[in-house]
Amino acid sequence: MKIIYEKCGYKVFVTSSYTGQGIDRLRSYLGNTEEGKTVFFAGESGAGKSSLINSLYPGLKLKTSGVSKKIHRGRHTTRAVTLYPVGKPEENGTAFLADTPGFGMFDISGIEELYKEDVAELFPEFGKYTGECRYSDCTHLREEGCGVLQAVSNGKVPQQRHTSFVRIYEEIKKARPYRIKKEK
């Protein structure tokens, strides 16, 4: 997974709140976050977001719990988004770290302004290839002359990321097949 996201241009930190691996490096990175920026951890319930924050900033003493032995899933321990100041105020000003509730599945119902035509924008690694598409309304699904598909074929964009794109695109297409223009 690390290689997939690094190839897409993301900064990736391999960490363990159990062993301490990568904690100092991530803490240093967060300490240099620009003023006014917010960093947040998102993931499934029980993934260890609050535990990781506790490893980074032990003084916060955030509530955590283990994975349920009965259903083998995380418990919803964090119930609301809470912002904590991070960074070096004397150098960068104050930035914030958000502890967020976990989720159980991907759900687009609350994202009313997202349409299938917008999904490619959620994949920044597609950006430099969308301009190479033969058709201006390319969906990046199966069109001949698609710059994104060519980049996937050449290994410039990971296949797994394109597979995720297709899954999200199709889910949104089912929910909202047409873009609705709002009246002013």
Q: What is the pLDDT of residue 140?
A: 97
Q: What is the pLDDT of residues 21-51, one digit of tens each?
A: 999 999 888 887 777 788 887 777 777 888 8
**Residues with Cβ < 8 Å from 127, sequence gap 6 or more?**
none
Q: What is the pLDDT of residue 88?
A: 63
Q: Does residue 109 carry a pLDDT above 80?
A: no
What pLDDT score was predicted for residue 133?
Answer: 95
Strand order across the 38-41 sheet? 38-41, 95-99, 82-86
In this predicted structure, what is the pLDDT of residue 83? 81
The pTM of the full predicted model, rounded to 2 decimals, is 0.69
Helix (H, G, I), strand (E, B) or coil at 8: coil
The larger pLDDT score, comparing residue 81 to residue 172, is at 172
Of 124 and 77, which is predicted with more confidence? Answer: 124
Going along the chain from its start, the domains and CATH numbers come out as: 2-99 (no CATH), 116-175 (1.10.40.50)
Q: Facing residues of 103 across strands?
A: 44
pLDDT in tens, 129-181: 999 999 999 999 999 999 999 999 999 999 999 999 999 999 888 888 777 66
Contacts of 96 (CB under 8 A, 6+ apart): 37, 38, 39, 83, 84, 85, 86
Task: Please tell me the predicted confidence (pLDDT) of residue 67.
Answer: 56
Tokens of 179: 């873009």
The per-residue pLDDT for range 96-106, each reduced to its tens digit, is 888 777 666 56
So what's the pLDDT on residue 98? 82
